[in-house]
Amino acid sequence: MSLLEVKNLVVEFPGRRGTLRALDDISFSIAPGEILGVVGESGAGKSLTGASIIGLLEPPGRVASGEIRLEGQRIDNLDHEQMRHIRGRRIGAIFQDPLTSLNPLYTVGQQLIETIQAHLPVNAAEARRRAIDLLKDTGIPAAEQRVDHYPHQFSGGMRQRVVIALALAAEPQLIVADEPTTALDVSIQAQIIQLLKNICHSRGAAVMLITHDMGVIAETCDRVAVMYAGRIAEIGPVHEVINHPAHPYTAGLMASIPDMEQDRERLNQIDGAMPRLNAIPKGCAFNPRCPRVFDRCSVERPDLLPAGATQAACWLHDAKSGVAA
C-alpha cells in the first residue's frame, strides 16, 4: 500500500489576466521506506508539488482539482488547523536554506523541544532528552552541549543536520526534502545523502527528494520523477531512467552531465528555456525544444505511456504514431 498518493493534482494561480495552471494533472505515489526523487529545471514545478503536499501553497495559489492522500486519508481539503497537526507529526519538511528554517533568537534545543512537545505527549525533561538523541542521530558531535547553542554557532552543514533533526522530531511517516544539499559542499552533501538513506532504512519513513542534481538522484533514490512545465515527463526506477531515458527531455538532462571519461570542450545543452506559465505550447510542452519532434507533438498532449521499465509522456512510445522510439 502507498503511504502517499497524489492523483491528478492541478494547482492554479488566479489573476487579473486569467488563471495560470502551475501543476497540470500530476499523479504519483510513494511507498513506506522509499525515496522518490523529483528532478527538473527551475520552474518545472518541483517545489510547488512539495508545497502542495505539505499544505503550504502561497495565496492565491490553490489546489483546483485532484487528490492528495496520506495513508488513505485525503489531506488536500483539510483546513489550516487540521493541516497544522499533520505537518510535523505525520509529514516533516527539510528546506534548502537552513537559516530560514531556524529562528536565530532561540537555541536549537528550544526549537527542537517546542516541536517535540507540540506533537508528542512528553514533559520538558523527556523532550530535551529526545532533542539530544536527535542531534546525535543526525551526526552532531557533543550533542549535550550543542543543544544549548544558537543557529549562528553552527556551520552550514551542521545547521542542515539540525533542520533534519527538526523534521524527524515527531517521527513523521513522510519527509519532503526540498533541495536539502544544494547549499552544502560535496563532502557534506554525501553525509546528508547517507543520513536520508539511513532514515528510510531505520525508521521506515518515505522521502520525497526535490533536487536539480541528477548525481544526488542517482546516489539516493529508488525511483525518480522528471518534471517539465508543471507535468511529469517521465517516472520510473532510478537506474532505468538514468541509463535508458525514454523521454527526450530526460535524455537531454543526462547528456548535459559532464562525463569524466570523455574530454569535451563544451557540455551538451538543451536549446531554449522552460516556457512561462502563460505561454505553454499546445500539445507536448517540450516540443519547441525537442530534437525528435514530429507533427503530432504540436497538436496533442501525451499522457504517461509505458516505455519499457518506465513511463514517459511522449508520443514516441505510442504505436499509433508510427515513429520508432
Per-residue model confidence as pLDDT tens digits over 14-48 = 988 889 999 999 999 999 999 999 999 999 999 99
pLDDT over 70 at 260, yes or no: no
How many angstroms separate the first and last alpha carbons of the chain?
33
> Which class does domain 4-90+172-321 fall in?
alpha beta
- Reported as a pLDDT band with limits 50, 70 and 90, residue 133 is very high
Among 5-9, 112-116, 199-203, the least confident range = 199-203
Question: 308: which 3 cell numbers?
Answer: 519499457
Tell me what the mean pLDDT of segment 53-66 comes to: 93
- Reported as a pLDDT band with limits 50, 70 and 90, residue 324 is low
* Secondary-structure breakdown of the chain: helix, strand, coil percentages, each rounded to the nearest 5: 35, 25, 40
pLDDT at 35: 94
Q: What is the dihedral of CA 210, 102, 183, 86, to 10 degrees?
A: -10
One DSSP character per residue, 235-286 reads: EEEHHHHHHS--SHHHHHHHHTSPPTTS--SS----SS-PPPGGGPPSSSTT
pLDDT over 80 at 1, yes or no: no
Tell me what the mean pLDDT of segment 214-240 comes to: 94
- Note the Cα 282 to chain centre separation in Å: 27
Q: What is the dihedral of CA 306, 297, 23, 163, to 10 degrees?
A: 60
**In 3-state terms, what secondary structure has residue 78?**
coil
Between residues 325 and 252, the one the model is more confident about? 252
Residues forming a β-bridge with 70: 4, 73
Cα separation of 137 and 113, whole Å? 16
Look at residues 16, 13, 15 and name the one whose alpha carbon lies nearest to residue 24. Answer: 13
**In 3-state terms, what secondary structure has residue 183?**
coil
pLDDT over 90 at 215, yes or no: no
Tell me what the mean pLDDT of segment 187-216 comes to: 85
**Residue ranges per domain, the chain?**
4-90+172-321, 101-166
Provide the mean pLDDT of the chain.
91
Helices of type H across the chain: 46-54, 80-86, 98-101, 108-119, 124-137, 143-146, 156-168, 186-203, 214-220, 238-243, 248-255
pLDDT at 321: 65
pLDDT over 70 at 322, yes or no: no
Question: 56: which 3 cell numbers?
Answer: 503550504
C-beta of residue 55 within 8 angstroms of C-beta of residue 83? yes
pLDDT at 52: 96
pLDDT at 16: 87
Look at residues 16, 46, 44, 320 and name the one whose alpha carbon lies nearest to residue 179. Answer: 46
Cα separation of 26 and 118, whole Å? 32
pLDDT at 183: 67
pLDDT at 71: 93
Tell me what the mean pLDDT of segment 238-266 comes to: 86
- Reported as a pLDDT band with limits 50, 70 and 90, residue 110 is very high
Q: What is the pTM of this model?
A: 0.91
pLDDT over 70 at 176, yes or no: yes
Among 77-86, 211-220, 259-268, 286-295, the least confident range = 259-268
C-beta of residue 33 within 8 angstroms of C-beta of residue 5? no
pLDDT at 203: 81
pLDDT tens per residue across span 291-318: 999 999 999 999 999 999 999 999 999 8
Beta strands across the sheet bearing 18-30? 18-30, 4-15, 62-70, 73-74
